[in-house]
Amino acid sequence: MKDRIVFVDYLRVVACFMVMLVHASENFYGADASGLAGNVSMLANEANRFWVAFYDGGIGRVAVPLFMIVSAFLLVPVRQGVTMGQFYKKRFMRILPPFFCFMALYTFLPLAWDGMSWEQSMNDMKMWLLNFPSMAGHLWFMYPLISLYLIIPVVSPWLEKATAKEERMFIGLFAISTFTPWIHRFISPEIWGECFWNGFSALWYCSGYLGYLVLAHYIRYHLEWTRSKRLAVGSVCFLAGAAFTAWSFWFKGVPGQLIETPMLEWAWEFCTPNVLLATFGIFLMFTCIRQAEAPAIITGLSKLSFGMYLMHMFFLAPIASFFVNGNQAEPLIPVALAIPVIAILTFICCAVTSKLISFIPGSKNFIGA
């Protein structure tokens, strides 16, 4: 068995749970027919306002960037002697078969319990080559992950030669680019060369998840901080970023008032300064783990995390529906408990299901484990 990086296994498990915590929280501010956060949101009361901000913004918002930075940490640079074609074949054979399987499941399986109409199902199927099914919004993550895999062999030669200073320069430009969503929202919809005939700003090629890729490489190969410094700086960065992320939602979310979800979540995009700061911080904290090996349950869950992510909405939706009980203001248990309980039960269901599926020959084509 190949050597595993212990803190990465812990990080995958935690990030997987964070995703479920985020989606559990959405059941307490969505204002569309599904009860989830759609284009319009509304908070029922102050308790929902605080606890959604805490769980979704303060804790869970770093989940997606963590998955990105972990992938880059493990895969960049591409090993010597591995061609671009070989890299693509190995990576995409791992993620695309499960992705396509779950695209089909989210398109057709809800028909079994009247969760969608045949017309909606057919429309979703027609869009397979263009986007994710309407009942599987969480599959949006697969497209940036695919783009990350596509770019890794391209940037690897530069990263192998780049100095620490050169990588810091790129990370600095990436950090500046993370202000773009705020500038677009509050100052000007077009900046740094953007216009209706050009959607690419001056910092376009230094922005997005590529920044997390370079950051991962920098941390692994150039950051020479002691364990105590990583823990101290990481804790401060995570707490500061998480606090701002939670506050941003609480500040905009006035109970009883309809608000456009993008405005409510104005600081929740994954490439914003606060989320970058929190992601950097928590990643540094996890690098301080010095165990020789992780417990078997952590290693096992880490291997299953991809499949758990893909399937979790099948379990989360009915579990959340039970606890919300048709009333976001008065769920079966207080919202402070309801959100983590929904996430924990979903996590357990996904873990058990993924483990059972893993015993089936060829299960890698379904859950990637």
pLDDT at 104: 94
Enter the tokens of residue 159.
């990263």
pLDDT at 36: 55
- Find out whether 274 and 248 touch, Cβ atoms under 8 Å: yes
Does residue 346 belong to any structural domain of this protein?
Answer: yes
Does residue 194 belong to any structural domain of this protein?
Answer: yes
CA separation for the pair 138, 284 (Å, rounded): 26
**Could you give the C-alpha distances from 238 to 50, 118, 244, in angstroms and in order?**
19, 45, 10
Quote the crossing angle between the two packed helices 273-286 and 6-25, to the nearest 10°. 140
Q: Kindly give the confidence (pLDDT) of every residue in the chain, 369 residues in length, as a single tens digit, with 9 standing for 90 and above.
A: 457 899 999 999 999 999 999 999 999 997 565 545 567 888 989 999 999 999 999 999 999 999 999 999 999 999 988 999 999 999 999 999 999 999 999 999 988 888 888 999 999 999 988 999 988 999 999 999 999 999 999 999 999 999 999 999 999 999 999 999 999 999 999 999 999 999 899 999 999 999 999 999 999 999 999 999 999 999 999 999 999 999 999 999 999 888 888 889 999 999 999 999 999 999 999 999 988 889 999 999 999 999 999 999 999 999 999 999 888 989 999 999 999 999 999 999 999 999 999 998 888 878 876
Alpha helix segments (H runs only) across the chain: 6-25, 46-52, 63-75, 84-108, 118-126, 142-161, 164-177, 180-186, 209-221, 227-252, 261-264, 273-286, 296-324, 335-358, 364-367
pLDDT at 31: 59
Q: How many domains does the chain have?
A: 1
Does residue 149 belong to any structural domain of this protein?
Answer: yes
Does residue 350 belong to any structural domain of this protein?
Answer: yes
pLDDT at 116: 86
Does residue 1 belong to any structural domain of this protein?
Answer: no
pLDDT at 1: 45
pLDDT at 9: 95
Does residue 362 belong to any structural domain of this protein?
Answer: yes
Please count the other Cβ atoms lying within 10 Å of the Cβ belonging to residue 187: 9
The parent domain of residue 285 ranges over 6-367
Q: What is the DSSP letter of 259?
A: E
Does residue 339 belong to any structural domain of this protein?
Answer: yes
Q: What is the DSSP letter of 234?
A: H
pLDDT at 35: 47
Q: Of 261, 235, 264, whose CA–CA distance to 247 is shortest?
A: 264
> DSSP of 309-361, one letter per residue?
HHHHHHHHHHHHHHHHTT-TTS-SS-HHHHHHHHHHHHHHHHHHHHHHHHTST
Q: What is the CA radius of gyration of the chain?
A: 21
Does residue 317 belong to any structural domain of this protein?
Answer: yes
